[in-house]
Each structure stands twice: as structure tokens, then as C-alpha cells.
Structure 1
Amino acid sequence: MSPGNATPDTGQPEAPWHRVHPVSPLVRGWIAVVAVAFIYGQNTLSSVFGRNEPNPGGDVVSGTPLLVSLSIGAGVLVLILLGFFMSWRFTKYQITERHVNVNSGIIFRQQRQARIDRVQSIDIAQPLVARIFGLAELRFDVADSGSAAVNLAFVKLSEAHQLRNDILARAAGLKSPGTPGQQVAELAQEIATNDQAQDPTPPVHGHGAPQPLAASERVVAAVPTGRLIGSILLRPATMLMVLGIIGLGIAMSTIEGFAPFYLLPAFLGLGGALWKNLNTGYNFKAATSADGLRVSYGLLDTRHQTVPPGRVQAIKVSAPFFWRRLGWYKVAVNVAGIGGAGSEAEERSALLPVGTYEDVLAVLSVVLPTPGVEAPREFFAAAMNGSGTEAGFVVSPRRIRPLSPLAFKRQGYALTDTALVARNGALHRTVAIVPHARTQGLTLRQGPLARRFGVVDLALATIAGPVVPLVHQLDIAVGRELFLEQADRAAAARKQTDSNHWLGDA
């Protein structure tokens, strides 16, 4: 494909194709090189030092000749390097006004394409080996995709940031290559209402084309290492694992011949879980910019994630029991394209692994810029820690106290001009926020006990993710009224919202 060819639909010159960094195959397949070096290095050493060892019958055992062993190892290494070169040679990418295209494959060719206007989030990931070479992977998540639609691995870190800025500007609906940076910067200053945003400077793109200016950003929340470690140790899952190991040790100590070494697998499992949480939450920062909320984290493997505004489908603020006395909360979201299964999806859905109330408000101000209430600080305080009908909440009737003896005063909902807020839990408290425009469906549920007490549950349908919005145990009349009214609110809000282009017209 020649850069000079014209696209049939627009008549404009076709966007040029570019190749990834030449070291990319080595970053992906370095384990194979290490494995070959280890195996043949071990065989070579055995040949050298075991050449003249006698066998039990007295004969001398001649090991594999050193030259033959080195030749085999060199041949295998050459084949691997040749495969690396061919993989690099046949991998290229293209950024057009509408799509991101990636072609790869040596024998079986593969072409992947993602629509720019459907990009839900963009990640810049740096595995440990990629960090050594100064490279990064660009990952695009699009709507209706449970995994990344396109992975671009690997390019220089500076180029990855420039490509992200370009793609987000195009996804926002900015057409003119000379003006996106100025418009992005203006919106960044509007977002930073309390701080002075710095003026962006134009990056120099490696391919010579003018690129959008990087939107200035302002850090709104950061997680200190001490708070992160404390939150990991105070998680219910961590405490259950520790109690389980203690109980297992006590039980096994009564067995004859028991040794503490037998508990090593359990300790390894606990250590692995603790290390994973520490590695993914270390140096966590959330920043606001015109192209969305930017989060970065990681100890060995670092990740820079950008969630464009308007793409968040649902928000959950949770406060585990042992965190509440310290005033700590967690914020997670549902975003199309990330999916809801697996530890990686859970990790990427966290916008704040642990933070204070002020941190929560700062993050909500980005993902929910218009909360729809006159006093958002007091409203969200009542949502997270309040009970009863304060701040306009409608709660469960008192007759369901036998079903929910601790939570009946707290669980309920409140409506704002822009979202429905569902409050649940007494010990482990959660608040689910669903913008009216993101409500995809409503369901009334009633089990045998709920029918006996005259209450229903209202479930709000959203994409898969950690947020499962549910209003528990409403009076039947209240639940039916909310069901009908929320359906009308959602339909009206969707007509006024266009999340595909948030900075300009397409």
C-alpha cells in the first residue's frame, strides 16, 4: 500500500503504514532465547566436564563433541532470530481518520481494525523488558469487545504517547490537524477549575506529520505506598487467607511427622496475591485532562490508561468494613471494551484502588462532571456513610427488618438530574452510580420472601464489569413507579447525548 494512493471513500491520500520497533519481537519472545541459551549452555558444560568420566564398567564415556553442541545451539538461535526478523518485517500499523489498522503474521496473515470513534479507552503498557529498551505497548479497547481490539507492540514510549494524543483527538471529533491541540488545551483549562493548567507544547512526531498537542493534565489523586500496603492487609480476602493458613497449620500440627515446610504452597499463594496487589497499585496516580481520566500505576510492569469522558457506563464506590474507620474508599467503573471477567479486567476497571473521601470526590468530578445536585459534597457523603432519607434518598420499608436487620435503614436510591444512585450494604458499604443516558435496561425482581414482605429489587442493566447496579427491597408501589419513570429518563437522556465525539462534531 503506497502512501500516495487515495482512499476510495474520501479521495484523500491514504495514510502511510509504519512498522513497530525492530526490538519488538525480542521483547515478546525473550523467554525463548533464554530457554535455548540455558538448555544448550547446560549441555555444553556437561560435554566439557563429563567428556572423560569413566562408566561403571571402566570404559571412558565420550560426551557430545563441543563443536557439535555449539553448532546446534547456534543454529537454533539463528532460526529464532530469523523468526523475530520475519515477525517484525510483516508487522505494520496505520492510523487513518476513522480506523486503527494493524497487520501481522508470517504464514497466517491477520489484519485487525478498530474504529476510532468507538475507542473506549487507551492503555500504554510497559512490561519490565520493554522498559529496559524504552518501549511501550499501545492497547485500544472498543465498544462491544471483551478484550483489546488492537494491540500495537512495541513502539518508543514517546511515540506511544504521541499516537495516543492523536487517536484521542480524532476520536473526539477534531478534524483539523492544526487546531486539536489548542482546543484540547482550552478544555483542559476548563476542567482544572481550581488549578492553573500548564500550556501544552507541541510534540515532535517521528513520522514528520503535524500531531495534536498533548492535553495538559492535573493530578487529582495519588496513593501513598503506606496506605496501599495497609489497604491490602486490611482486605477481607487477605484476612481470610491468613486465618485459613493459621487454621490449616493448627490442624496439621496434630498429624505425626508434620513440618512447617508443608505449608509452603499456602504461603506462596498468599505471597503471590499480596505481590500482585502491590505491583498493580504501586505509584498509582489519577490525573484529569481534556481527553479523559488518566491513571498510571505499576512497580515492575507499568501501565498508563486513558478513559475518555462519556465512556464510563457505571461507577461504584465501596468501603470495606476494616477500611471505614480509616476513611478509605475504592472507586471502580464499567467501561465498554474492558470486559468484566478476570483479574486483569478488574485491575483496569479500578480508577482509585484506595483513597480518601477527597480523592473520591476528585475522581468523581472527572468521570461524573455533572452530578446533578446543588451540594454534591454533602450528597455523596450521605450516599457513602449516611442512612435514612437524608439527601433525598428513598429507603426500604421498615417491615423488611427481619430480612435485612442491619442494612434496612441504609439501602435505597436517590435521583439526581443526571444519574440514579443506589446505596447498599451496612458492613461492606457500596454506592452504585448509573448516568441516566447509560441505563440500558431495567428489571424488577421478586423472590418468595420478597413477595411475602411486599418488596421488589430493581436491577439496572449495564455492560459487564465490577459494577452491578441494584436497588434492594423497595416497596412494590415505589419500585414500579421508579421502573416506569427511569425508563423515560433514560430514553430522554440518550437522545441528548453523543459519547462518540465529545470535543466537536464528526
Structure 2
Amino acid sequence: MPRTLQDVTTGVFRAHWFVVPFQVIAVTIVFAALAGPILGLFGFDWVLMMTVGVVFGSLAYCLPAWWYATFGLRGDHLVVHSGLVLRGSREIPLSRLQAVDVVRPLLMQVFGLAELRVELAGGDGSVVRLRCLRHDLAERLRVAVLAHAAGLPGRAPEAPEWPFYRLPFPLLLGALLFRVPVLLAFVALLMLLTAGVVFGEPGVFGAVVPLVLGLLGHFWGPLTRYTDFYASTSGDGLRLRYGMFQRRMQTVPPGRVQAVRVVEPLLWRALGVARVEANVAGYAGARQGDSATLLPVAPRSRAFALVNEVFPDSDAVSVPLASGGGLHHSDAGADEHLFVTTHGLFCRVTDVVPVERVQALRLAEGPLTRFTGRLTVGADTPPGPADGRAYGLESGHARSVLDALVAHGRRARNPDAGTERWATRATLTRGRHDPRSP
């Protein structure tokens, strides 16, 4: 008989009980590794007695700590209780949700567990991590959290999704290999190994270690992270699934992407592919770097199609760009929806910022550019890979771009068009209507 699923909108939940023995085992191993050699001088009996004491002591703490650490949905708020000695409670309004991820490291996959991460605006301390949940519970909570954030009842069904792009593994493998740093490091590694063997100089092999580590970081890391990458769109925003050893499902709701960067390295241009990165409100610090990539590698046409998907009613390719002139200057332009800049000779970078989400505008002149009459136009956005700045523009062009951004921004901003409760807001126009909304 199938197990009856508890209603996630009303129940009180805890992490899976497996977390208790795991914590006890971890504490015992650390104790044995650090204190074991010292206690061994007093004999095996002392080691055994102290180890048993650590096991029962950690169990006496971890078990009630697990029992008192609860969480649940109360209306459109997520309430989290934690701590045993120092009790703490957090009440998170889901209308301020920025992103929600379901992460499954390899060990959690073995035991059918997952971690739910709820990202909020507010910096490094804003993320809420619900660890060691049953996978089905994490998925149902993700759906309920997104429904509340959209302004719908928590029992609303999950919004349907439409396939957008699946990354072929040969393309990912070839794109990671077809990069200048990887190719140069591989050639240098072969030269060092050849020199060490031919001339019999073992000291050469000392330089092999950093090269191997560099290759692992620039090749093996992205390969395992973005294997089986799949992107889809839905009424709840952009959904990304990827990972070899750590499976992750990332959901970015509508309106949370503040700026986008399309990166086309020199060798990738020969393949006609690009990488898409984004400034996502709510991600900060290391989480910004881990979650900024929307497409690790894709055909250039699909990359700009994704830009148009996250910024509805716009077309980044059609924005007219005026050349800044020179190798180190930007091409920049703006229309009623987007501010677009392009720069880079060897690695071409295109930054796209929606004008209604620009937080501030600036016109900068450096000590050297003052003599050339060149200015920098900057559109401030939340932290992330896209900086929204156009460098080295002729003064008249820079001021015309700034004036256009001011005018377009005034017309584009709508005080009622915030990013909260996107499914019930009539001012947000999208190509697809969320079928869950009333």
C-alpha cells in the first residue's frame, strides 16, 4: 500500500533521522583521529572508554537537537526553528524569495536525501538551508514555496515546463578542451614530462603538480558540474538541472535576473558557441559564482534566445550599438528595454542590463581618459559577473547613451511591477500565462 504523503503546507517537519547517526559517527572519527594517539599512550582501555563516552555524549546532544530543529510553512512564511542550547527562530516571507534550489550530493543520492536551499535578498546570511530531507519532501516543499512566492495557494500544482536546451556531452567536452588556458597548460605539461624523461631531470616533475591541479580546476570541475545539463522554462521561471556527482535543480523565478553576460572566448567563436552568466538577486559571495551560469555552453543563437527569455518583450541582438572606436573601447547602445555593451578583442563579452532594473547610473572620467576625452558609462546592478559598463566612449556618445538610459528608465519603471507574487500580478506580461493562476 503506498505511503500517504503529509501535506507540506500545514505539517511540521524535521530532517531525516539519518542525520543523527551520521553526526555521531563524524564526531567519533574526529575524536579518534585527534585524541586517539595521545590516549594510546595510556593503553587501549583508555582509548575504548573515552571513545564510548564520546559516542554517547554526542548522541545525547544530537538527538534532542534534531528533534527540536523543525520547519514548516505558516501561510506564505517559512518558519525555521533551530538550536538546542541557544534556541533560534526565523520567519521568512516567501514573497521576497529570489531562488530555490534542490541539491543532491553523491552521498545524499545514495540514501535518497536532498538539501533545499531558499535564497533571499540580503547577502551571505540570507540563504536558508534545509539539509538531509527526503527527496520527495524536498521536491514538494520546493513546489509549495514557489507557489507561495508567486501568490498562489501552497497546494497549487507545479507549473508545467517547456524544454529550452539540453547540452550534448560531446559539445561540453569539446568546449572545455577548446580553450586557450587549457590548451596551453596541456602543451606545457607535455613539454615538462618530455624534458624530464629525455634529460633525466626529476626536478622538472615538481612543476607538473600545479599544472595538473590547474587542469583539474579548469576542466574536470566544470565537466562534472555541468554534465547532463538541461534548461527549461515555466511559469515559475527558469529551471536548470545539472551535475554528475552532485545533482542540482535550480529555479530562478521571473524578475530575479538583474543582468546577463554573454561570453564568447576566442576559440569558441570558431565553434559558434557562447556561455551565459547572470547577476541573480539573492546570490552573494561564493554562491554567486556557483549559481551565476545559466548556460555553460550553447550555440550563440540559443544563448541570446535565453537572454530574451529572461527579459521578456525584448531583443538584445536588435539593440543598435554605436562603436566606441579603438581596441580597448566598448560598443554601447540602449533601447526602451535594454542597455547593451560589447567589448573585448580576444574574448568578446556582451553585457545586457534591463533599463527598469538599473539601480544607479554614473558617468566616470579617469586621470588618463581625461586627456583623450573618453568617458565610461556605468549602470549599477547587484553583484555578479555582468558589470553593465561601457568603457572609453567619446564624450558626446557617452552623454547621449546616459540621457537615453535616464529617459527609457523613467518610462519603463512601474511602481506596481515588482518581482513579488508574479503569478497574480497583471502588470507582468509574459509570453506564457501560468495555468495555475486563478
Give TM-score, length-normalised by structure 1: 0.74
Change (3 A) 1:392 1:361: closer
The structure with the largest alpha-carbon Rg is: 1
CA shift, 1:317, in A, is 0.7
Q: How many angstroms apart in 2 are the aligned matches of 1:224 and 1:29?
A: 42
Q: How many angstroms apart in 1 are the aligned matches of 2:205 and 2:251?
A: 45
Q: How many angstroms apart in 1 are the aligned matches of 2:244 and 2:52?
A: 35
Please state whether the residue corresponding to 1:144 is helix, strand or coil: coil
CA shift, 1:250, in A, is 8.9
Residue of structure 1 in register with 2:43 after alignment = 64
2:24–2:58 Cα contact (<8 Å) kept: no
Amino acid at match of 2:250: Q
1:25–1:87 Cα contact (<8 Å) kept: no
Q: How many angstroms apart in 1 are the aligned matches of 2:226 and 2:188?
A: 25
1:136–1:160 Cα contact (<8 Å) kept: yes
Q: How many angstroms apart in 2 are the aligned matches of 1:500 and 1:63?
A: 63
Which of residues 348, 353, 364 is equivalent to 1:429? 348
Deviation readout 1:96-136 (Å, 9 max, x if unpaired): 23322211112222323322111110011112221111111
Please state whether the residue corresponding to 1:483 is helix, strand or coil: helix
1:222-233 aligned within 5 A: 222-233=166-177
Change (3 A) 1:40 1:474: closer
1:245–1:266 Cα contact (<8 Å) kept: no
Residue of structure 2 in register with 1:439 after alignment = 358
Change (3 A) 1:38 1:446: closer
Is 2:424 the counterpart of 1:504? yes
Which of residues 6, 13, 17 is equivalent to 1:18? 13
CA shift, 1:494, in A, is 2.4
2:375–2:393 Cα contact (<8 Å) kept: yes
1:167-182 aligned within 5 A: 167-174=145-152, 176=153
Please state whether the residue corresponding to 1:364 is helix, strand or coil: helix
Q: How many angstroms apart in 1 are the aligned matches of 2:301 and 2:139?
A: 29
Change (3 A) 1:256 1:361: closer
Which of residues 51, 73, 82 is equivalent to 1:104? 82
CA shift, 1:392, in A, is 2.4
Change (3 A) 1:240 1:109: farther
Please state whether the residue corresponding to 2:16 is helix, strand or coil: coil
Q: How many angstroms apart in 2 are the aligned matches of 1:362 and 1:275?
A: 28
Change (3 A) 1:357 1:453: same
How many residues of Structure 1 are paired with residues of Structure 2 in the alignment?
416
CA shift, 1:231, in A, is 2.1
1:141–1:147 Cα contact (<8 Å) kept: no
Deviation readout 1:436-474 (Å, 9 max, x if unpaired): 111001111122442333221101100001111111222
Amino acid at match of 1:219: P
Deviation readout 1:58-104 (Å, 9 max, x if unpaired): xxxx9935x65444333322333333313311211121233222111
Is 2:131 the counterpart of 1:153? yes
Is 2:435 the counterpart of 1:492? no
1:219–1:286 Cα contact (<8 Å) kept: yes
1:143-292 aligned within 5 A: 143-174=121-152, 176=153, 211-239=155-183, 241-242=185-186, 258-263=202-207, 265-273=209-217, 274-292=219-237
Which of residues 362, 373, 390 is equivalent to 1:471? 390
Q: How many angstroms apart in 1 are the aligned matches of 2:180 and 2:321?
A: 29
Residue of structure 2 in register with 1:327 after alignment = 272
Q: How many angstroms apart in 2 are the aligned matches of 1:335 and 1:457?
A: 24
Please state whether the residue corresponding to 1:325 is helix, strand or coil: helix
Deviation readout 1:400-428 (Å, 9 max, x if unpaired): x3xx2xx66xx322323321111212221
Residue of structure 2 in register with 1:309 after alignment = 254
Amino acid at match of 2:202: F
Change (3 A) 1:224 1:420: same
Q: How many angstroms apart in 1 are the aligned matches of 2:22 and 2:295?
A: 30
> Where do 5+ consecutive residues of structure 1 fail to align?
1-13, 48-61, 178-210, 383-390
2:334–2:404 Cα contact (<8 Å) kept: no
Change (3 A) 1:130 1:169: same
1:112–1:150 Cα contact (<8 Å) kept: no
Q: How many angstroms apart in 2 are the aligned matches of 1:103 and 1:155?
A: 15
Deviation readout 1:140-196 (Å, 9 max, x if unpaired): 11113235421111211111111111111111122x45xxxxxxxxxxxxxxxxxxx
Q: CA RMSD in A?
A: 3.3
1:106-121 aligned within 5 A: 106-121=84-99
Q: How many angstroms apart in 1 are the aligned matches of 2:261 and 2:24?
A: 38
CA shift, 1:221, in A, is 1.2
Residue of structure 2 in register with 1:388 after alignment = none
Q: How many angstroms apart in 2 are the aligned matches of 1:476 and 1:110?
A: 55
1:220–1:362 Cα contact (<8 Å) kept: no
Q: How many angstroms apart in 2 are the aligned matches of 1:499 and 1:143?
A: 12
Amino acid at match of 2:171: R
Give TM-score, length-normalised by structure 2: 0.84
Amino acid at match of 1:370: D
Amino acid at match of 1:325: A
Amino acid at match of 1:393: L
2:193–2:205 Cα contact (<8 Å) kept: no
Residue of structure 2 in register with 1:360 after alignment = 303
> Where do 5+ consecutive residues of structure 2 fail to align?
1-8, 427-438
Change (3 A) 1:270 1:482: closer
Deviation readout 1:252-305 (Å, 9 max, x if unpaired): 999996345423531452254133222211111111111010111111111111
Change (3 A) 1:298 1:226: same
